[in-house]
């Protein structure tokens, strides 16, 4: 049994003849010269007094009833003047008319030569109309009627054209002297002119005739193809999508269309007919239909050949005699973009990826020349490469019942704003969970969760800004969707796709759950993430202690607190990185603040253990970098463990404050340069000399730079400058009191911190 994409392609391939049952448009023209016997030249746009003159010389238009020709103003109220009394011309009129006939012929799907024969001039004054009727074929080869509305000032008078259950409502109003509105329809179509409500419309009627009257012409009839396609689409929409099966269908069109001209109205030839059949079938089957641009981008290796002759698939540089040939394709990216609805409005859709099995023509690019082709010369260790792009317009279909699953393929840039909009509209509506808005949002969130990135490295450990997870959680909170909130915390956050910026939204969403379930999920999030993101987990735990569901005191969070204490940085239970490039986020004072604030409230014994661990790991929890700033922020925080950390910080400060602080008594400075080269050895001797303040090194640039680098590395108390007089230049080093001045500043900061911790 053929697959649905193959079946759709087979059905539409049989739609070859282009055309509709009608065609309508407007054209810019050079104003023709129009004369009517008994009136003379007619000005365009039509003037009111000339409209009266035309009515005066016209006759009441009749209508046909069987073999009879009758006049009945209840059926047809309009005025007519025969073609023999009309003279229309001008330098460009014949050309303008030929262009209109050619355009109409294409739209109606007619081949061969077509002639336009003037039949009548009709005057529709206020109140004129013509009830629904069919035109008679007035001459051999006539197959359609062409209506040209000359520039006139009027309202109303719309033309309705009907054919096999379809109806077109055409407004042929134009008041510009340089513009002419027109419509054509097959002779067997029912059509009707609605009453003119004001003004007067001037219309030329032409019979369209085949040059070969023996060749029958009628509108294309694809009702069988449409019904068959609708049946296939209906069954597709009713069945669940099989693994690997198409979620949407993509039928590429034959003709090329630029981004600017992409529209249903601009489709050419058989593309127009296939679109009409497919759109109608999709509507019958409950499917959405769109027009979109297919873009397939490929890149890979190229081969460079100077000898072989140029041929298709090869490219020659303008700069040399060499040429490239496409080798292996290593990457392929394919998306849909530039969406249009059948009415040519633009839906708020972005780029959609698509799979090969969704293409109704799987070998789409076979035999096609790429729209863009670029080659890159070999550079360094990289060989020659190529990039090429194919673009085609395509019809795209999906069942309305699976619209949200298809929408989810476009990615979070589309689905997050959509979910946010649904949540806002539902909240404003005041209705309950049975609302279609809520149900749609709940379903969309489910699709988003199915494809949400689970990889822990998707969230960079140093990225603290609220992101896409926060937006989703906020929408779920506004929807009061506890089911999806539970799924997200369990399947995404607890899987490692988590960061600090999620916390505010995560805690709020956890409040939708039963207290024990919320506490369980927080424990899972902390246990999974504390190794790489300890600061984020401490912040999360501290936030949760203030939530009612955590309990008073928040003892429900004890398992989460234990998980965080076990993963304290530098401890034996800290999990190793999963990848060699993964590194835990650096410990910051804020981590200690959140950790102690949370543990003191949840489990004071864990706070004591954490304090012991931090004091035992000075390489990670240094007093000056971490503990002192943290305890300054924890001023007033109760708890024995926090008090013990405060006392340890005070002891550290007191010990350093007690150290003697005097300026150097001579020019001796620490000789700490590790390098043993001759120049650095001279530098060390200079630093150790109590009587020498300045030292000069006249040397080549690389030697001077080496000594300057040694000074920087050892943080020597030296100021340096380069004396550019003479060759080679001279590096001048002058001793200063930088170390002493640093200790003075440190003493002032220590005293300030000591006073703050004692308050």
Residue 460's pLDDT band (boundaries 50, 70, 90)? low
Better-scored residue on pLDDT, 225 or 126 = 126
Q: Higher model confidence: residue 457 or residue 430?
A: 430
In this structure, the answer to whether residues 646 and 685 fall within a common structural domain is no
Same domain? For 620 and 756 the reply is yes
Give CA–CA dist 632/646, Å, rounded: 9
- The answer to the question of residue 236 being in a domain is no
pLDDT at res. 188: 75
Tell me what the mean pLDDT of segment 226-255 comes to: 87
Same domain? 645 vs 683: no
Q: Domain of 717: which CATH number? A: 3.30.1370
Q: How does the average pLDDT of the chain come out, rounded?
A: 88
Residue 3 lies in a domain: no
- Residue 8: inside a domain: no
**Is residue 524 located within the same domain as residue 581?**
yes
* Residue 349: predicted pLDDT: 82
> Same domain for 565 and 708?
no
- Chosen domain end from 513, 531, 547: 513
Residue with structure tokens 């005097």? 662
- pLDDT tens digits along 617-650: 999 999 999 999 999 999 888 899 999 999 999 9
Let me know if residue 241 belongs to a domain.
no
pLDDT at 545 over 50: yes
- Report in angstroms the alpha-carbon separations of 606 from 565, 594, 612, 635: 7, 14, 10, 20
Contact 241, 3 (CB under 8 A): no
Alpha helix (H) residue ranges in 498-639: 503-510, 515-529, 534-544, 558-566, 589-602, 604-615, 628-633
In a domain, 239, yes or no: no
The model's pLDDT over 291-313, given as tens digits with 9 standing for 90+, comes to 999 999 988 888 766 555 544 44
Q: What mean pLDDT is predicted for residues 581-599?
A: 85
pLDDT in tens, 476-517: 999 999 999 999 999 999 998 899 999 999 999 999 999 999
The rounded distance, in Å, linking the Cα atoms of 339 and 291 is 6
User: Does residue 286 sit in the same domain as residue 264?
Assistant: yes
Q: Are residues 588 and 698 in the same domain?
A: no
Q: What's the confidence (pLDDT) of residue 101?
A: 93
The pLDDT tens digits for 242-293 are 777 888 999 998 877 878 888 888 787 678 888 989 999 999 999 999 999 9
Q: What pLDDT, in 10s, does the model give residues 203-220?
A: 999 999 988 765 555 556
In a domain, 29, yes or no: yes
Q: Helices in 81-197 by DSSP H: which ranges?
A: 93-108
Same domain? For 624 and 759 the reply is yes
State if pTM tops 0.75: no
- How large is the average pLDDT for residues 664-677? 89
pLDDT in tens, 376-423: 777 766 678 888 888 889 999 999 998 998 889 888 988 999 999 999
Q: Within a domain: residue 237?
A: no
600 pLDDT tier (thresholds 50, 70, 90): very high
Asked if residues 37 and 82 have their Cβ atoms less than 8 Å apart, the reply is no
Contacts of residue 586, defined as CB under 8 A and 6 or more positions apart, other chains included, come to: none
Can you give the pLDDT at residue 6? 85
Quick one: how far is CA 581 from the chain centroid? 31
Which backbone phi and psi does 190 adopt, to 5 degrees?
-70, 140
Q: Is 602 a residue whose pLDDT tops 80?
A: yes
Q: Residue 201 sits in a domain of what CATH number?
A: 2.60.120.10
> Where residue 571 falls among pLDDT bands split at 50, 70, 90?
confident
For residue 321, is pLDDT > 50?
no
Which residues constitute the domain of residue 375? Answer: 246-401
Using the 3D structure, point to which of 401, 428, 443 is the last residue of a domain: 401
Residue 670 inside a domain? The answer is no
577 with 503, same domain? no
Q: What percent of the chain lies above the pLDDT cut of 90?
A: 60
% of the chain residues with pLDDT over 70: 91
Do residue 273 and residue 357 come from a single domain? Answer: yes
Q: What SS3 class is residue 207?
A: strand
Domain finish residue from 165, 190, 210: 210
Count of domains for the chain = 5
Tokens of 319: 């700069």
3-state class of 88 per DSSP? strand
Indicate whether 525 and 508 sit together in one domain: no
Q: Are residues 747 and 599 in the same domain?
A: yes
């Amino acid at each position: 049994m053929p697959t649905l994409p193959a079946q759709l392609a087979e059905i539409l391939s049989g739609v070859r003849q282009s055309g509709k049952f009608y065609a309508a448009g407007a054209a810019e023209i050079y104003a023709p010269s129009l004369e009517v016997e008994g009136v003379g030249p007619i000005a365009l746009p039509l003037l009111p007094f000339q409209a009266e003159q035309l009515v005066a010389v016209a006759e009441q238009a009749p209508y046909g009833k069987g073999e009879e020709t009758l006049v009945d103003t209840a059926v047809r109220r309009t005025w007519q003047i025969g073609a023999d009394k009309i003279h229309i011309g001008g330098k460009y009129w014949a050309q303008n008319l030929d262009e209109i006939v050619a355009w109409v012929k294409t739209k109606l799907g007619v081949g061969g030569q077509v002639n336009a024969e003037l039949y009548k001039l009709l005057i529709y004054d206020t109140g004129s109309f013509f009830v629904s009727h069919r035109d008679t074929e007035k001459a051999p080869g006539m197959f359609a009627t062409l209506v040209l509305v000359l520039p006139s000032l009027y309202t109303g008078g719309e033309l309705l054209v009907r054919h096999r259950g379809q109806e077109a409502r055409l407004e042929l109003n134009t008041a510009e002297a340089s513009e002419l509105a027109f419509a054509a329809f097959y002779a067997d179509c029912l059509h009707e002119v609605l009453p003119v409500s004001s003004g007067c419309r001037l219309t030329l009627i032409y019979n369209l005739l085949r040059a070969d009257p023996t060749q029958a012409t009628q509108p294309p009839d694809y009702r069988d193809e449409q019904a068959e396609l609708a049946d296939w689409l209906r069954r597709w929409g009713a069945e669940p999508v099989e693994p690997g099966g198409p979620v949407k269908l993509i039928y590429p069109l034959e003709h090329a269309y630029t981004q600017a001209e992409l529209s249903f109205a601009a489709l050419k030839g058989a593309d127009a007919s296939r679109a009409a059949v497919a759109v109608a079938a999709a509507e019958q089957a409950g499917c959405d239909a769109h027009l979109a641009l297919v873009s397939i981008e490929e890149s890979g290796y190229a081969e460079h050949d100077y000898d072989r002759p140029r041929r298709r698939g090869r490219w020659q540089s303008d700069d040399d005699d060499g040429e490239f040939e496409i080798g292996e394709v290593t990457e392929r990216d394919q998306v849909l973009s530039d969406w249009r609805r059948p009415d040519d409005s633009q839906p708020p859709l972005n780029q959609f990826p698509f799979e090969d099995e969704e293409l109704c023509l799987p070998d789409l690019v076979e035999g096609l020349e790429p729209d863009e082709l670029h080659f890159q010369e070999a550079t360094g260790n990289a060989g020659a490469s190529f990039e090429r792009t194919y673009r085609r317009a395509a019809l795209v279909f999906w069942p309305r019942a699976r619209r949200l699953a298809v929408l989810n393929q476009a990615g979070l840039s589309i689905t997050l704003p959509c979910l946010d909009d649904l949540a806002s509209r539902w909240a404003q509506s005041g209705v309950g969970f049975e609302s279609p808005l809520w149900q749609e949002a709940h379903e969309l969130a489910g699709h988003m969760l199915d494809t949400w990135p689970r990889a822990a490295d998707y969230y960079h450990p140093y990225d603290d800004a609220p992101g896409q997870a926060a937006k989703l959680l906020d929408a779920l909170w506004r929807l009061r969707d506890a089911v999806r909130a539970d799924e997200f915390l369990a399947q995404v956050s607890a899987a490692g796709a988590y960061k600090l910026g999620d916390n505010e939204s995560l805690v709020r969403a956890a409040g939708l759950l039963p207290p024990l379930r919320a506490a369980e999920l927080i424990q899972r999030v902390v246990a999974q993430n504390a190794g790489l993101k300890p600061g984020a987990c401490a912040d999360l735990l501290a936030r949760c202690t203030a939530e009612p569901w955590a309990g008073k005191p928040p003892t429900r969070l004890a398992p989460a607190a234990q998980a965080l204490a076990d993963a304290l940085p530098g401890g034996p239970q800290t999990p190793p990185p999963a990848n060699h490039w993964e590194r835990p986020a650096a410990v910051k004072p804020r981590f200690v603040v959140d950790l102690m604030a949370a543990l003191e409230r949840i489990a004071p014994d864990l706070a004591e253990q954490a304090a012991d661990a931090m004091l035992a790991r000075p390489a990670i929890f240094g007093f000056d970098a971490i503990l002192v700033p943290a305890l300054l922020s924890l001023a007033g925080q109760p708890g024995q463990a926090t008090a013990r950390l405060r006392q340890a910080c005070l002891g550290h400060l007191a010990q350093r404050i007690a150290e003697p602080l005097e300026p150097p008594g001579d020019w001796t400075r620490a000789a700490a340069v590790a390098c043993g080269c001759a120049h650095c050895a001279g530098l060390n001797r200079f630093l150790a000399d109590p009587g020498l303040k300045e030292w000069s090194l006249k040397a080549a640039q690389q030697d001077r730079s080496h000594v300057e680098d040694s000074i920087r590395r050892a943080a020597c108390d030296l100021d340096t400058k380069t004396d550019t007089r003479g060759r080679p230049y001279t590096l001048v080093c002058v001793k200063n009191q930088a170390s002493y001045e640093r200790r003075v500043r440190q003493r002032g900061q220590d005293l300030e911190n000591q006073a703050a911790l004692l308050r």
